Structure formats: C-alpha cells, structure tokens
Amino acid sequence: MIAAIPFITVLLCTYNDEAFIAETIQSILGQTYKNFEFIILNDGSTDGTNNIIHSFVDERIKYLEHSENKGLEEAKNWGLDEAKGKYIAYIDGDDISEPDRLRVQMDYMEAHPETGICSTRKVLFGLVNKPLAHVEHDLELRMRALFGTPMEHPSCMIRTEVLRKHNIKYRKNFPVAEDYPFMIDLMEITQAHCIQIPLIRKRIHDQRVSVLKKEIQNESAARASQLAFKVLLGIEGGVEERFAIKRCFVSKSNIEDLTALGNIRSKITLNGQLSSRDIAFRQYILDHISKSIFKIHSQLKRYQSIPEEIKTTTKEYNKEFVKQKVLKNENDALHKSLSWKITAPLRTIVGVLLNIIKKRQ
C-alpha cells in the first residue's frame, strides 16, 4: 500500500506513445523500491495512449490529462506542481527503467545531500543498440552543459526541495529542448552527478520528437547553449566562441581558434563574489583554454622554423594526398558495386583477347 506521503514521485508526460507506453509503465510499476507515486500526464494524445494507461490498475498511479496538446513545458510544470515526493524521477513514454533504478538513485541522493540532480548511464536499443558512456562529476557535467544537454533527462532524479526553494520550472521559450535550460538553471544552484550504472534503456525509433522536429530542437538548443555560457561562465558566448571552447576540450583546437579562445579567457572573471564552486568551474575552463592556446603557439613556433620551400612542398603533398585518398575511395566503391561484379566475366574475356593481340604484335 502506498504511503500517505510517497518518498518519490515518478513523472511521465506522454503524447501519442501507444506503441511503447505499456512497457514503460510496467518498468516503473515493477521497481524493487515501492514507496512512490506515479504521475502520468496525458498531454492531449489522439491515439490509443489514454486507453492503455487506464488498463493499468495500481493505487500509485495518479492520472492527469490535457484535453489538447499543450507541449512538454506546460505538461512537466503541471507535474512538478502536483509532485508530493522528496525526490522527482523522470521517465519518457518510450523508454524503460531497470528494476533497481529508483532504489539506486534514491540511495545516492540520501547519501549526498549536496547533490540536487542525479542521472544515470543509459543503453540505446531499437534502431541502434549500444551502451553509452557519460561523464560523472559536477565540473565535467557543467562543462558539457556549455554545449548541449549534460544529462539524459529521463534518467534524472531531482531533489524537490531545490525546485521549490528556488522556484525552478521549465522555461516556455525552448520548444523541443526544454530539458536543457531546466538543467542549466538547476546546475547554477546545486551539484549534479551521473551514476555510472546503466539504469535506463532509451528507445531509438524514427517517430521520436528529436527526429520529427529536429530543426526546431537545434535552434532551441543553440539558444540554450548561449544561456549556459551566461549562467555558468558569466559571459556572452557566440557561435565562434562556443565551437572554439568545445574543440579545446576535445584537443582539436586550431590556429583559427586563437583569437576566440583569447577573448573567452579575458572575459572569464574570478573574484570573491563567486561561490567556491563557481570559481573552481571557471578555473577548470581557464586551465583547458590556456593549455589549448599554449599548444597552438608551440605548433606555430615549430612551423615558423621550417624553410619556406619545405612549407610549400608540404602543402602540395597534402593536396596530392587528399586527391589520392578521394580516388582510392571512389575506386573501392566501384569494386564493391553490383555492376562491377556482373561485368567480371566480360572483363576476363576482354583481358584474354588483349593478351592474344599483344602476343601477335
């Protein structure tokens, strides 16, 4: 029997997920940890999602419904308002939670009161089947937040007290990417962590919102990245700056990045008005930028010491190398083609005839 005040609220906002939602719901109801409420919010589905939800009889389910589709931002904010648990755990209508997911995340959150948001690793299945690695610690997750959603939202568990105290909700001007700015707002005021156990199975299929509304999502994500630079680094980050700093973290900085990285470094401030966590994060970024700039300068110095004729020869060699590589790829593609295989007997006959002609000459 569910407790009067459930320890965890599981929130599922769904829209037209009839093909998958039964498996999703069952994965939550089958959790080894039992003291939770399960808010299922049907955001105006027009398929059979509603009937599938009502086929489950469990006192932990709390059903909410929009008469028409209002979007995930509004649906999730309604779910947050209704949540009674100390923690809020998410799940999407096409994903699956492993049986121990709630217990493992709750145990971690209980042992680490400084953590306000906790995710897990995931395994992709469906059109793509493979496990995915995720960075683990707060500084690394904040760095990832500069370029994209730092954690897998359906795997997240959030401390409800943090949301209530700071009045954090989903912003309404980031369609199809509402999770990204929501996590930025959380990471500004609380620590994040990713448990290095795959506790979510993320279904990959061609009807995902990220596929059907890819352009809208990309535009929203780009604006969210700008927000992350402002909130977490305290600077305005344009496209050039964002790409430059991303490359410096994957050790692919180039000469063109010098100016952008230098500008970013000059804008990042460290002072006593910042929290120790913010200072540590900004120093973390500065260290990486400085290493990239030093590496580029070292490359320039070595290059400047090479005689001009060698530089010219090297450039020509590189051009020829690229040209030969293209030709090789085209040749490989030809030999793998069906037409090449079909005409093999004809080429053999032609080869024999040419040899006979050559010998007679």
Rounded CA-CA distance 95/357 in Å is: 68
pTM (predicted TM-score): 0.80
Residue range 62-91, pLDDT digits in tens:
999 999 999 889 999 999 999 999 999 999
* Closest alpha carbon to 37 in 97, 81, 88, 98: 88
Strands (E), 271-355: none
Query: Is the residue at 32 inside a domain?
Result: yes
Tokens of 223: 């604006």
Mean pLDDT value of segment 234-256: 87
Same domain, yes or no, for 185 and 51? yes
Q: What CATH number did the domain enclosing 97 receive?
A: 3.90.550.10
Asked, for residue 290, whether it belongs to a domain, the answer is: yes
- Is 180 within the bounds of a domain? yes
For residues 37 and 23, give the distance between their C-alpha atoms in angstroms, rounded to a whole number. 18
Q: Do residues 81 and 96 both lie within one domain?
A: yes
Domain check: are 126 and 215 in the same one? yes
Position 87 scores a pLDDT of 98
* Nearest one of 342, 141, 104, 146 to 233, comparing CA atoms: 146
278 within a domain of the structure (yes/no)? yes
Our count of domains for the chain comes to 3
151 and 61 in one domain? Answer: yes
Res 349 pLDDT > 70: yes
Same domain, 270 and 354: no
- What is the domain extent for residue 153? 8-227
Q: Of 160, 194, 227, which residue constitutes the final position of a domain?
A: 227
- 174 and 278, same domain (yes or no): no
Q: How confident is the model at residue 169 (pLDDT cuts 50, 70, 90)?
A: very high
* Separation of alpha carbons 223 and 305, rounded Å: 43
| Claim to verify: residue 205 and residue 120 sit in the same structural domain | yes
Of 137, 135, 91, which Cα lies nearest the Cα of 114?
137
Query: pLDDT value at position 253?
Result: 86
- The answer on 328 and 246 residing in a single domain is no
